[in-house]
Amino acid sequence: MLGVLGGTPAFAQGGDAERIMAGVRDALGGKKLDSVKSLTVEGRSLRTNQAGTTTEHAFEMAMELPDRYMKKEVLSALGNMSVYRTSGFNGDGLINEIDTPPQLSGGGHIVMRVQTVGPGGPGGPLTPEQQEANRKNLLANTKRDFARMILGMFGTSPAAFPLTFTYGGVAESPDGKADVIDIKGEGEFAARLFVDSQTHLPLMLSWMDKEPMIVQRMVGGSGGAGAPPPPPPPPGVGGHGAVAGGSGGNVTFFSSGGGQGRQGAPMTPEEQAKFEADMK
């Protein structure tokens, strides 16, 4: 859950999801929104990791309606370097690229492995069927992100990921009242949109989703010539992704949620600090 509006929803009778969503669209610009065919966004995002610390990173986003979307964001900051991920879709074509700093493309003591958590067993290559299942899973994840952005900016259901709206009552808090819209989509997509009852502007979108991409660090050998290859990913982390690094040493796994299997223990704050110090 990304957020909660203070107060408890009071599920009143009546209400009209279609009417409320029409009010949202009018408040956001009405018919002027129909002329928007493409847009780009630059901003900064805040993330709270499993250790409870918060990091802030820049991101870029571009879309060409109805079915082209791209987002570039920092996957992990490693000292004075950053690993970027570009995700999105072009129709039903998946965009999923990792931009690894040149310093991590060979040699050194850091090995980075980008993996997805899929339906396969622990480590090892995936079958063609599993690779296709992972591709579809990543595509669905990206389209869900796109749908949430469209909801907040345009107050409508995107053609690339159709949604249904149901009236969910009224949420009351000391700051006022909000109409609640329950939203459903393909697969397990579910969200709640809170709309200011006075201005009809969207206040917040809340949802539950599978674990996002995380960073995991494991300690390998001492490195050097003839050193053994890095250890396999933790149990439940399968598939292939971009691999960067050299021999032995510290191993960092990047894994995106959406499958089954244990992700492993996250880095402690002390391990994170040491890891970043090693990268400087």
Separation CA 31–CA 49 (nearest Å): 40
In this structure, is residue 195 part of a structural domain? yes
Number of domains making up the chain: 1
Rg over alpha carbons for the chain, rounded to the nearest Å, is 21
Least confident of 142-146, 190-194, 266-270: 266-270
In this structure, is residue 228 part of a structural domain? no
Average pLDDT, the chain: 74
In this structure, is residue 132 part of a structural domain? yes
pLDDT in tens, 146-198: 999 999 999 999 999 999 999 999 999 888 999 999 999 998 899 999 999 99
Least confident of 81-90, 169-178, 191-200, 266-275: 266-275
In this structure, is residue 26 part of a structural domain? yes
In this structure, is residue 69 part of a structural domain? yes
Instruction: State which residues form the domain around 157.
Output: 9-207
User: What residue type is assigned to position 14 of the chain?
Assistant: G
